[in-house]
Amino acid sequence: MSEASDEQRVVDLVEQLLADHPPKGSAPKDFLGAQFDAGLAWVHFTEGHGGLGLSPKLQRTINERLAAERAPVAMARNPIGHGMGAPTIVTHGSDAQKARYLRPLFTGEEVWCQMFSEPGAGSDVASLATTAVLDGDEWTVNGQKVWTTLAHLARWGMLIARTDPDAPKHRGMTYFVVDMHSPGVEVRPLRQMTGEAEFNEVFFTDARIPDVERLGEVGDGWHVALTTLMNERVSIGGGIPPREGGVIREALDVWRGLPEPTADQVAERAVQKDELTRLWIDAEVLRLTNIRASQMRSVGTPGPEGSVGKSLAADHNKKVLDFTVSLMGAEGMLYTSYEMVRPEATMSWDCPQKAFLRMRANSIEGGTTEVMKNILGERVLGLPGDVRTDKGVPWREVPRN
């Protein structure tokens, strides 16, 4: 079929969805369930798995029309499941796993978390030490994960664990789906500088995972993890807000609310306007770059463009919010509450001051900016690789802290 007729088909299906399930009168999970069943969840996934096997470009058409009707947004309810879990399951999962997990993940009935980082393994996540040992048709897991976003809400977790300590680090890992409610899985809150605890520590003590919950082959966990990681970068840095949406809106709102400058403020205001204009242009360039990247992307693992977008977005968000709180003067230092809460969403903010604090983490979460630059240098610019002293060395023999 031609691109135009695919688009018409999608447009018709969206209108049918809206007619049958008006967003105002429908429970979010029912609306999202109907969206999934219509193949409008991830339009590039295959039929029966929330898609129609069409070009990913068409997802934007769907999302924009649904946003105009204020329909519920799956990503907001389950960001890690939606942005990272689903592409990993669809690429590496069995048919039974796709049938079991994708729909409740999309509706937000089952929240997902990602358990990669450990106290001794962050940027170098392949050095991780949590172990999984096969015992009959189950694996026994022991170890600790850290910075696990939304683990306190999660029904399922994506886990990579060491299954062969004698293999070099990238080859001795296996990837699993973990039932976060199973015995031996303990979740404890970790507080961040906004006062909230979006993330957690997760401890595994003889937790059991059925072998059917493995994603990919034994020892091939790194390959599966790359699908998650590359999608994570897109998920964090690849957002496509409407023009003047996202963090630049915070700056514009504050700017538009400023009182007329006094005579001695006029020169300073002109400089600030110049700065705001530059930031506005950067926001628009980033938005257009992300639109282009999303149109080039197909199902599965995005390329290094996700890392480029992620590091640019991290830097941009910080600059915009630095500027915004400085525009606010002394009010920029005020903050409503540091009470510890375990939120239901990630990266949410209700005031520029909170956004300022939260976005500091953008250059760490999902891989640091330095690591993104390494990927950019090696995979885009073709520069020599980072120094790797443990290449080919069995994991067991690599010194660790």
Ligand X SMILES: Cc1cc2nc3c(=O)[nH]c(=O)nc-3n(C[C@H](O)[C@H](O)[C@H](O)COP(=O)(O)OP(=O)(O)OC[C@H]3O[C@@H](n4cnc5c(N)ncnc54)[C@H](O)[C@@H]3O)c2cc1C
Residues that bind ligand X (CB under 6 A): 113-117, 122-123, 147-149, 199, 361, 364-368, 370-371, 374, 386
Q: Token pair for residue 20?
A: 């049958």
From the CB of 380, what's the least distance to ligand X, in Å?
16
From the CB of 121, what's the least distance to ligand X, in Å?
7
Strands (E), 118-250: 131-135, 138-145, 156-162, 173-179, 185-190, 199-210, 214-215
Contact (Cβ atoms closer than 8 angstroms) between residue 43 and residue 52: yes
Quick check: helix, strand or coil at residue 139?
strand
Distance separating alpha carbons of residues 265 and 271, to the nearest angstrom: 10
Parallel/antiparallel/unpaired status of strands 199-210 and 185-190: antiparallel
Per-residue DSSP letter, 300: S
From the CB of 310, what's the least distance to ligand X, in Å?
11
Contact (Cβ atoms closer than 8 angstroms) between residue 41 and residue 53: no
112: enclosing H helix or E strand: strand 112-115
Distance separating alpha carbons of residues 221 and 234, to the nearest angstrom: 20
From the CB of 69, what's the least distance to ligand X, in Å?
31
From the CB of 85, what's the least distance to ligand X, in Å?
11
Catalytic residue among 196, 232, 305, 365: 232
From the CB of 367, what's the least distance to ligand X, in Å?
5
Identify the burial level of 184 via C-beta atoms within 10 angstroms of its C-beta, where 0-12 means exposed, 13-18 middle and 19 or more buried: middle
Cβ-proximal residue to ligand X, closest one: 122
Distance separating alpha carbons of residues 190 and 340, to the nearest angstrom: 10
The smaller minimum CB distance to ligand X, of residues 13 and 364, is found at 364
From the CB of 122, what's the least distance to ligand X, in Å?
2
114: enclosing H helix or E strand: strand 112-115
Which CA distances in Å does 329 have to 141, 334, 353? 51, 10, 11
Contact (Cβ atoms closer than 8 angstroms) between residue 150 and residue 198: yes
Quick check: helix, strand or coil at residue 129?
coil
Where do we find the tokens 């050095």? 127
* Residue 370 known to be catalytic: no
The strand pairing partners of 144, in sequence order, are 203
Which CA distances in Å does 229 have to 194, 240, 293, 304? 25, 19, 16, 11
Distance separating alpha carbons of residues 178 and 387, to the nearest angstrom: 34
Which positions are annotated as active-site residues? 232
